[in-house]
Amino acid sequence: MWKSSRVRHRTNVAEDQARAILVTTLYAQPASLAIGAACGILTSATAATESHNSVITAAAGVLSIIALARVAGARWLPRIMPQGSRSLEIFYETGAFSYSIMAGTIAALTIHYDVSGPIRTLMVGNAIAYSVGIAARNAGRPVIAIVQLTLALAPVILAAALEPDLPSRLLAFTLFLVLPAMMSITLNVFKTLRDSISAAQTSQRLADKMQHLARTDVVTGLVNRAGLNHHLVERLIARDGNSKLAMLWIDLDRFKEVNDTLGHQFGDRLLIEVAARLRRGAPSGASVARFGGDEFIVVFDANNQPEITRLAKAMLADIQRPIRIDDHRLDIGCSIGVAIFPDHGNDLDVVLQAADLALNQAKLNGRKQIVTFTPSMTRDLVHRKEIEADLRLAMQRDELSVFFQPIVDLESGRIRAFEALVRWFHPEKGELRPDEFIPVAEETGAIITLGNWITGQAARVAADWPDDVTLAVNLSPLQIRAPGAALAILSALREARLAPRRLELEITETVLLDHSPNTAAFVETLTQAGVRFALDDFGTGYSSLSYLDKYPFGKIKIDRSFVSGIAAGKTNAAIIRAVSGMGRSLDMAIVAEGVETLDQVEAVRAAGCTQGQGWYFSRAVPGYIAGMLLEQERHRFAQKSPSEHSEMAPSSTQALRSASLKAPYTHNVNHKKAI
């Protein structure tokens, strides 16, 4: 019922629109009205002067006044009255009807008063021509046309029918037949006109609908990329010279996880909720768009940077409020990149790209934050692109090598493991830090080949070490998700003749975030084979303890950001103590990363760490120096009595430290430098 009333409403609207258009046609050619009026005045004036008949003269006067009023009205009224309005139509009707009846009446009077033949012919002809012409001209409003036709011809028919002579009566009869014929023609013309108008309207409506669909995101109902482009162009045209246009590029942090674990329908509902929050949080008049996936763009006018930052902060906080869908409570983080037109570019695409770069930076900085574009980001991008291109050649040109940093037992001072750390000595740029090129390798997927190469190289070196020294290798998330990743590692170990139990894979929490079955299968296969796992950089991510329960970690590596301040700050010490206590009860080794001073060694040991890694002991060194360190250690411990072995005196650490510091770090081949 609701639907049918809606259809009826739509039909009425369409009819009203068609009617308005047709009313407008009445005034469409004011010139034709003027010519008609001039002819009417001229012919009736002629009839008046030639007939010397006072009734005809009076009628001619009335007709002339009406004709002049109509011409004047047609010229002025459409300017002061709304187009197609009923008042315009009424004015036209009044003028048209009175003019028609006067034209017909004057012709009838020339018949009635038996005015001279030519004048009678002139006026009768004039009335017939007018009525037939008007029936066609005003077909857009058929009622008006038919009434005009009838009013102009009826007096002539009547007067001719009352004449005694046969030709006059025949004229009456013929004109009588003209009436229905012209009516039918008028109605036909009207129907054709109306149909074509409504067909044009229907296709316009369809075109509008298609355009709307093409510019709308079906999931959220927000505009999509095409829609946003359209909005942006409109905004640019409407913008006044001083105002700024803020562009916020928003990315949800854990959307993929939600989509993968809870399903796409759930993901869609989450997107709908985020879209609603953005709509609510954006200032009125803002354009809010979804750019596919979990990315949204909000564009709004702003006066200054603090205003933009304030709004962006409010939106970030709103999205990060827990979202409840069915029985699930979701905590979705988000990152926002901000760029401003025209501060960051004179072209919308450039500013949008700037917002994207800022977003990328927000993600690199650790997500859940707002970053505003700075020109250095473009330089970084260029730098990253260069690295991407160079990295492909680096492996072929033998510019990469694997270095090893010892991980020392804080009790005995012995080296328990070496962490393999990749080094790139670029022929022009010098040494590049892994932090610069590993993320690029991860983005491009090159990390899979690179990672396998590192594992193979490191395993070959480690195969020469004593049996109780472990090799630790870092793994990137993408490496784990690659098909056959576990088998690739096992075959690298086989080739290098390194027992799987001597390999320890360092993974960060981000690897585990996706909870994907692939990750679980990867860990399971390698654990079965004897490979061990360490949780790297603990304390930098979510630091969720649930991973420790789910995955078989034998070691937790506390990030160096906690270690660096431990000697001075109490809070860090308390955190390390808590993690160590937990590690002990779960039978895990706790490694303090980035130990640089003796004070730190003592502090982390006192806090319960069992192992240490850092420059205090040794920097990462080439494989042959790692071998030398182990050799020196063997000699040192062989010289000591068994009782001395058990205690980890700072002196033994010192010994390793001085031994490694004395070691020849610069090995001339390829001028590679240990760091």
CB of 476 to Mg ion, least distance (A): 11
> How many Å apart are CA 567 and CA 578, to the nearest integer?
16
Residue 564 touching Mg ion (CB under 5 A): no
Task: Kindly list the distances between the CA atom of residue 492 and the CA atoms of 149, 228, 460, 527, in Å, as whole numbers in the listed order.
Answer: 101, 50, 9, 16
Cβ neighbours around 102 below 10 Å, total:
25
CB of 505 to Mg ion, least distance (A): 10
Nearer to ligand C2E, 6 or 392 (CB): 392
The item of Mg ion, ligand C2E, none sharing an interface with residue 414, based on CB under 5 to 8 Å by kind, is none
The stretch among 384-392, 450-458, 467-475, 620-628 that binds Mg ion (CB under 5 A) is 467-475
Among positions 78, 537, 583, 611, the unique one binding Mg ion when judged by CB under 5 A: 537
Residue 434 CA to residue 559 CA, distance in Å, equals: 16
Chain-centroid distance of CA 656 in Å reads 56
In angstroms and rounded to an integer, the radius of gyration of the C-alpha atoms of the chain is 46
Among 659, 647, 631, CA closest to 413: 647
CB of 603 to Mg ion, least distance (A): 18
| Nearest residue to the partner ligand C2E, using Cβ | 614
Mark 436-446 as b/e (b = at least 16 C-beta within 10 Å). Answer: ebbebbbebeb
Q: Shortest Cβ distance from residue 532 to ligand C2E (Å)?
A: 16
Q: Which is nearer to ligand C2E, 294 or 536 (CB)?
A: 536
Shorter beta-carbon distance to Mg ion: residue 93 or 409 = 409
Q: How far is the CB of 487 from ligand C2E (least distance, A)?
A: 18
Between 99 and 617, whose beta carbon lies closer to Mg ion? Answer: 617
> By C-beta, is 301 or 509 nearer to ligand C2E?
509
Residue 508 beta carbon to Mg ion: minimum distance, rounded to whole angstroms: 8
User: In this complex, which beta carbon is closest to Mg ion, that of residue 66 or of residue 507?
Assistant: 507
CB-wise, 537 or 633, nearer to Mg ion?
A: 537
Residue 582 and residue 545 in contact, taking contact as beta carbons nearer than 8 Å:
yes
x/- letters, 478..517, toward Mg ion (CB under 5 A): ----------------------------x-----------
The C-alpha atoms of residue 441 and residue 450 are separated, in whole angstroms, by 8
Task: Give the residue with the Cβ less far from ligand C2E, 405 or 611.
Answer: 405
Cβ of residue 528: shortest distance to Mg ion, in angstroms? 23
What minimum distance in Å lies between the beta carbon of 506 and Mg ion?
Answer: 4
Q: Which stretch binds Mg ion (CB under 5 A): 58-66, 431-439, 469-477, 607-615?
A: 469-477
Structure tokens at 243: 């105002």
Closer residue to ligand C2E (CB): 327 or 435:
435
Q: Which of 536, 541, 610, 663 binds Mg ion (CB under 5 A)?
A: 536
* C-alpha triplet 201, 203, 205: angle, nearest 5°: 70
E-assigned strand segments in 352-443 = 370-372, 400-409, 415-426, 430-432
CB atoms within 10 A of CB 399: 18
Q: Least distance in Å: CB of 444 to Mg ion?
A: 21
Contact string (CB under 5 A) for Mg ion, positions 276-305, x = contact: ------------------------------
Cis peptide before 342 (omega within 30 of 0): yes
| Nearer to ligand C2E among residue 57 and residue 654 (C-beta) | 654
Residue 615 binding: pick among ligand C2E, Mg ion, none (C-beta 5-8 Å cut-off by kind) = ligand C2E
Of the candidates 473, 477, 517, the residue with the CA atom closest to the CA atom of residue 493: 473
* Torsion angle of the four alpha carbons 94, 99, 100, 106, in this order, in degrees rounded to the nearest 10: 150
Give the footprint of ligand C2E on this chain (CB under 6 A): 405, 420-422, 433-435, 438, 451, 454, 474-476, 506, 536-537, 560, 593-596, 613-615, 620
Q: Which of residues 581-610 bind Mg ion (CB under 5 A)?
A: 593
Residue 494 Cβ vs ligand C2E, minimum distance, rounded to whole Å: 20
Here the tokens at position 610 are 């069992």
- Rounded to whole angstroms, how far apart are CA atoms 247 and 165? 89
Per partner kind, with CB cut-offs from 5 to 8 A, the member of Mg ion, ligand C2E, none near residue 186 is none
Residue 434's binding partner among ligand C2E, Mg ion, none (Cβ under 5 to 8 angstroms by kind) is ligand C2E
- Distance CA(233)–CA(197), nearest Å, equals 31
Show the tokens assigned to 106: 């004057």
Q: Which of Mg ion, ligand C2E, none lies near 421, with the C-beta cut-off 5 to 8 A by kind? A: ligand C2E
In 3-state terms, the chain is what percent helix, strand and coil (to 5)? 65, 15, 20
- Distance of closest approach, residue 394 Cβ to ligand C2E, in angstroms: 13
Q: Which does 539 bind (CB under 5 to 8 A by kind): ligand C2E, Mg ion, none?
A: none
Q: How far is the CB of 584 from ligand C2E (least distance, A)?
A: 22
Nearest CA among 479, 537, 461 for reference residue 506: 537
Q: In 3D, which of 358, 363, 329, 333 has the Cα closest to residue 345? A: 358
Q: Chain-centre distance of CA 611, in angstroms?
A: 48
Which of 414, 408, 472 shows the shortest CA–CA distance to 611? Answer: 408
Number of Cβ within a 10 Å radius of residue 577: 15
The entry of Mg ion, ligand C2E, none that residue 113 binds, CB within 5 to 8 Å by partner kind: none
* Residues β-bridged to residue 339: 247
Question: Among Mg ion, ligand C2E, none, what binds residue 224 when CB lies within 5 to 8 Å by partner kind?
Answer: none
Residue number with CB closer to ligand C2E (390 or 559):
559
Residue 594 site contact among ligand C2E, Mg ion, none (CB < 5 to 8 Å, cut-off depends on kind): ligand C2E
d(CA 370, CA 597): 36
- Residues 6 or more apart whose Cβ sits within 8 Å of residue 426: 390, 394, 399, 432
Q: Which is nearer to ligand C2E, 387 or 438 (CB)?
A: 438
- Is 342 or 650 the residue whose CB approaches ligand C2E more closely? 650
- Residue ranges binding Mg ion (CB under 5 A): 474, 506, 536-537, 593
